[in-house]
A and B are shown apart, each in its own frame.
Chain A
Amino acid sequence: MNKTVLAIGILITAALVAVFFLVMGKDPGHIDSPLIGRPAPTFTLRAVGSGQPLNLEQLRGKPVVINFWATWCMPCYQEHPVLVQNARMLGDNVQFVGVVFNDTEDKIQQFLNARGSAYPTVIDEAGKTAIAYGVGGVPETFFVDKAGKIVAKYEGPMDGDTLQSYVAKVMQ
């Protein structure tokens, strides 16, 4: 066989194998957020229960954990107690905010009544806030530092250790 053709064949095969190994092991549903390191998109949304507007900018000065969730999301049931427990434990040091989209206030209120609540939950009526944050699915959680900059994002339900390790990043 011609040496040039053989060399080209080996080169192409090596490139394909390299791409395969680079992509393999990556979650195809994972989206690298371009928002990391940038200011968190600001919003003023209505809080469930009180109906009072909650403005993200007013929380500037303390770390904020923004959790996107919905009552139709099964992993959110698993994550909710972790969030509530840590919000109570961290108290005023960190502000937790739940953002619910594509849901109804009745269902959210029932969910919170049944499972407890330790922080404000706001309604993202047409999912516009979720879009601005690049949310692909729920639950998704953003960690915002004191200056209002997004430091990290977590996709999927968190356990206590994961949540605390991410909170530590915004407390620095």
Chain B
Amino acid sequence: MIVFVFLALLQLKVPDAQQLVGAPAGKKLAGAELDQKTMELSQILRCPVCQGLSISDSPSIMAANMRDQVRDLLVQGYSQEQVLKYFEQSYGQFVLLKPKFQGVNTFVWLLPLGALLIGLAITLVKMNKLDAAPAAPAPEAPADDPYVARVRELVEK
């Protein structure tokens, strides 16, 4: 019976990362370096069952499974790019907390820059207009203004 169970267990196989991202292209990580890299990647992968949380910050079981998967892939020698691609192949770009500079995502990167440039352009145009406009001459008070005459009289005393 034990042999039968053991043989059955040997046949078990979860989906192979190599199918999705090719052979491992990095070095096999271990120890502190593995912990550090697992943490780094977990901070940029989105938890699919949470609201805007990374798998590093989420207490959900799904996030824990994903963190374990990140760790396993790094142990096997998959590079950072391959690990991110692995999750992207399953969940799409949704899983990346930092969107890629491609397709519709390009707007996410370019819109703030565009808004800044438009703001700068408006400011510069306004400043140029102010510089180009001739300074208005100070209005002269009429010589026979009794109010001005009285002020002059008081000042000259």
B8: CB under 8 A from chain A? yes
Interface string of B65-107 (1 = CB under 8 A from A): 1101100100000000000000111111010000000000000
Interface string of A1-26 (1 = CB under 8 A from B): 00011001000100000000000000
A129: CB under 8 A from chain B? yes
- A132 with B48: CB separation less than 8 A: no
Interface string of B25-40 (1 = CB under 8 A from A): 0000000000000000
- A129 with B92: CB separation less than 8 A: no
- A35 with B90: CB separation less than 8 A: yes
Query: A44's closest neighbor in chain B, by CB?
Result: B13
Chain A neighbourhood of B19, CB < 8 A: 41-42
Q: How far is the CA of A133 from the CA of B13 in the complex (A)?
A: 14
- Given A51-B5, A124-B14, A128-B14 in contact, is the A134-B91 Cβ separation under 8 Å? yes
- B88 with A126: CB separation less than 8 A: no
Chain A neighbourhood of B20, CB < 8 A: 41, 132
Interface string of B1-13 (1 = CB under 8 A from A): 0000100110111
- B65 with A44: CB separation less than 8 A: no
* Among candidates B15, B92, B94, B118, residue contacting A132 with C-beta atoms closer than 8 Å: B15
Q: How far is the CA of A130 from the CA of B62 in the complex (A)?
A: 9
Distance from B85 Cβ to chain A, minimum over Cβ atoms (Å) = 11
> What residues of chain B have their CB less than 8 Å away from a CB belonging to chain A?
5, 8-9, 11-16, 19-20, 48-49, 51, 61-62, 65-66, 68-69, 72, 87-92, 94, 115, 118, 122
Cross-chain pairs A/B with CB under 8 angstroms, 24 sampled: A8-B118, A31-B91, A31-B92, A31-B94, A34-B91, A34-B92, A42-B15, A45-B12, A46-B9, A46-B12, A55-B13, A102-B61, A126-B68, A127-B62, A128-B14, A128-B15, A128-B65, A128-B69, A129-B15, A131-B66, A131-B69, A132-B15, A134-B92, A136-B91
Please give 19 more A-B residue pairs, beta carbons under 8 A apart, in addition to A31-B48, A130-B65: A28-B51, A32-B92, A34-B90, A41-B15, A41-B19, A43-B13, A53-B8, A101-B65, A102-B62, A124-B14, A126-B14, A127-B69, A128-B65, A131-B66, A131-B90, A132-B15, A132-B90, A133-B15, A136-B49
